[in-house]
Each structure stands twice: as C-alpha cells, then as structure tokens.
C-alpha cells in the first residue's frame, strides 16, 4: 500500500516519520514545502500539489488544521475526482457534522472514509503512543487497524462516523479544564506562601492527581512555553468546536466558557503558538492579563 500524507505540521510530521520508519511507501504534501524536508531526507516522495499525492496513493491520511483546509485540499474539483477507489483517513480534530459531511463527499466521489482523531501531543506522536479513536464501519476499522497501529498501540473503535470526533472533543474539553484548574490551584498556593513541592506531594498522593499536572508543572514554574506540545490557538479552536456541539445539546457551558476566556487571556499575553500551559501566567497575573 502507498500512503499519501497531507499535513505535516507539529503532529503530522512525526506521524508521517513513523510510517517511513515502518517501510511504508509514502508521498507527502504540505502547504509550507519547507516542512517536508525531513520526510524527503528519510525517503518520502514529495508532492507539489495535493491531487498529485492523492492520485499516487491507495490511502490518504489527513492531519490538517480544520475542516476548511480539508475542503480546500481534498474536495476541490481536481482532487475530488481522484478519490474514486481510495481510502481517506481523517485524523485531525473537527466537528462531528463536518466529519459526516466530508464522508458524504468522499463516498459520492467513489471513495471510502473513516475518521481516526487522536489524543496526545508531539511526544506521543514521536513514540507511537497516541490514543487513536476510530469512527466508521466496523469492517473499515478492521481493515485499517494495522496501519493506524503505527500511531498508537491499541486503536479504539468508537462507532459510526462522527462518534470519534465527539469523543475527541469531550477529551479536549478535559485537557483545557484540568490544566486551567491546576494552574489556578498552583497560583493560589504560591500566593499563600505554601511550598510548591509540598502541594505537589499531597496532590500526587490523592485521587485528584492526573499525570498532566506534572507534565505542565515545569513549564509553569519556569515560564517556558515555547516549543509547544499543543499551541494555545489550537486548543482554543478545539474548545470552540466543543462549545458549539455542546450548545446544541442544551448543556450548561459556563465552566468551559470561563476556561476559554482564560485561554484567550493567555493568547493576549504571549504568542498564539505558545504551549497551552501558558494559562498559568494568565491566571497568576490576572490583573495584567486583562480582566477588562
């Protein structure tokens, strides 16, 4: 099988590298050609246009920023007509309805479509430890599970197209809410003069503990938010998707809307590409951050 990989950004690059390391024939496309250099050096074929990658492959993996980018690269007239007989695996974070609409367009072109969004960030992408969630027909899952296992050891079948997208949004909501809550408690104990390590020791011994707290602690204590595992702007995009979907279900969204406000404050204080753990200074320096 020859795989086309569209979108080699922060997550897409290490994912594509894992396919090459497994001796899977790969053709790659990225809107910014410079980001393809490591893949080309590792033996990947480079496509100048998306349709070139699509026509050359049996399976197309999408790791793009949003649904608009998918429409722009995959569903233009020239690319859409090339989808016949090919499998499309959508692995980015988009809304359930967007995934279903893209599925319909791919099927209308004579191709097949599954969604396989992931939970994890760059370190997990590099080591093949992502949690892969699959939406589609069970038979499609069975046919593609070996390929998806290069990204995570146990791809999980969730249900029909849209269900894996929904599950991913629920988990991303937890990422944002847990990190913001931890940052608030950390800032509180610091300003109360309580030793940070004492706070962490008690927390680690409790049922409240989550490993993500320690993963973000060093960044928060040292103010190092560069080389993001998950950029703030990306998390805000995913929270917006969650809020839109949850609003249609009639859920009380006051807590996550507060989290979104803090994320937006972090954006004002730093670059959008900084790590989402930068919610800490947005909370710690709230007056400066913009309680306007």
Of 226, 239, 217, 218, residue with least CA distance to 273: 226
For residue 271, what pLDDT is reported?
67
Of 236, 93, 130, residue with least CA distance to 176: 236
User: d(Cα 250, Cα 247) in Å, to the nearest integer?
Assistant: 5
One digit per residue, pLDDT tens: the chain, 292 residues? 899 999 999 999 999 999 999 999 999 999 999 999 999 999 999 999 999 999 999 999 999 999 999 999 999 888 999 999 999 999 999 999 999 999 999 999 999 999 999 999 999 999 999 999 999 999 999 999 999 999 999 999 999 999 999 999 999 999 999 999 999 999 999 999 999 999 999 999 999 999 999 999 999 999 999 999 999 999 999 999 999 999 999 999 999 999 999 999 999 887 688 999 999 999 998 744 444 4
Q: Are strands 131-135 and 118-119 parallel, antiparallel or unpaired?
A: antiparallel
Of 106, 92, 101, residue with least CA distance to 63: 92
For residue 77, what pLDDT is reported?
84
Say if CB 125 and CB 148 are below 8 A apart: no
For residue 291, what pLDDT is reported?
46
Of 5, 8, 70, residue with least CA distance to 35: 8
For residue 272, what pLDDT is reported?
82
User: Which structure tokens are listed for 170?
Assistant: 């629920």
Q: What is the DSSP string of 244-280?
A: HHHHTTT---HHHHHHHHHHHHHHHHS-TTSBGGGHH
Q: Which domains does the chain have, with CATH numbers?
A: 3-161 (3.40.50.720), 165-285 (1.10.1040.10)
Assign 3-state DSSP to the chain and report helix, strand, coil percentages, each to 5.
Answer: 55, 15, 30
For residue 46, what pLDDT is reported?
96
Of 18, 10, 105, residue with least CA distance to 64: 10
For residue 292, what pLDDT is reported?
47
Q: Are strands 156-159 and 131-135 parallel, antiparallel or unpaired?
A: parallel
Of 273, 282, 279, 280, residue with least CA distance to 65: 273
Backbone angles phi, psi at 109, to 5 degrees: -85, -5
User: d(Cα 40, Cα 180) in Å, to the nearest integer?
Assistant: 39
């Amino acid at each position: 099988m020859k795989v086309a990989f569209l979108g080699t950004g922060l997550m897409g690059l290490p994912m594509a590298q894992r396919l090459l390391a497994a001796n899977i024939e790969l053709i790659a496309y990225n809107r910014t050609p410079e980001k393809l250099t490591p893949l080309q050096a590792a033996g990947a074929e480079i496509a100048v246009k998306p349709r070139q990658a699509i026509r050359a492959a049996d399976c197309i993996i999408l790791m793009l920023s949003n649904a608009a980018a998918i429409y722009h690269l995959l569903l233009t007239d020239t690319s859409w007509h090339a989808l016949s007989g090919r499998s499309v695996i959508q692995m980015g974070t988009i809304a359930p309805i967007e995934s279903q609409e893209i599925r319909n367009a791919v099927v209308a072109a004579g191709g097949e479509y599954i969604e396989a969004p992931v939970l994890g960030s760059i370190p997990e992408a590099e080591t093949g430890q992502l949690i892969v969630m699959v939406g589609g027909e069970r038979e499609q899952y069975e046919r593609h599970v070996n390929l998806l296992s290069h990204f995570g050891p146990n791809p999980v079948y969730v249900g029909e197209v849209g269900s894996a997208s929904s599950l991913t949004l629920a988990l991303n909501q937890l990422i944002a809410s847990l990190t913001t809550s931890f940052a608030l408690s950390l800032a509180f104990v610091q300003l109360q003069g309580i030793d940070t390590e004492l706070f962490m020791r008690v927390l680690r011994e409790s049922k409240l503990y989550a490993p993500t707290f320690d993963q973000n602690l060093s960044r928060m204590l040292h103010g190092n938010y560069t080389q993001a595992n998950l950029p703030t702007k990306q998390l805000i995009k995913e929270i917006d998707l969650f809020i839109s979907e949850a609003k249609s279900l009639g859920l009380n969204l006051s807590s996550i809307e507060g989290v979104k406000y803090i994320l937006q404050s972090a954006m004002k204080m730093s670059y959008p590409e900084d790590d989402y753990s930068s919610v800490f200074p947005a909370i710690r320096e709230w007056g400066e951050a913009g309680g306007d």
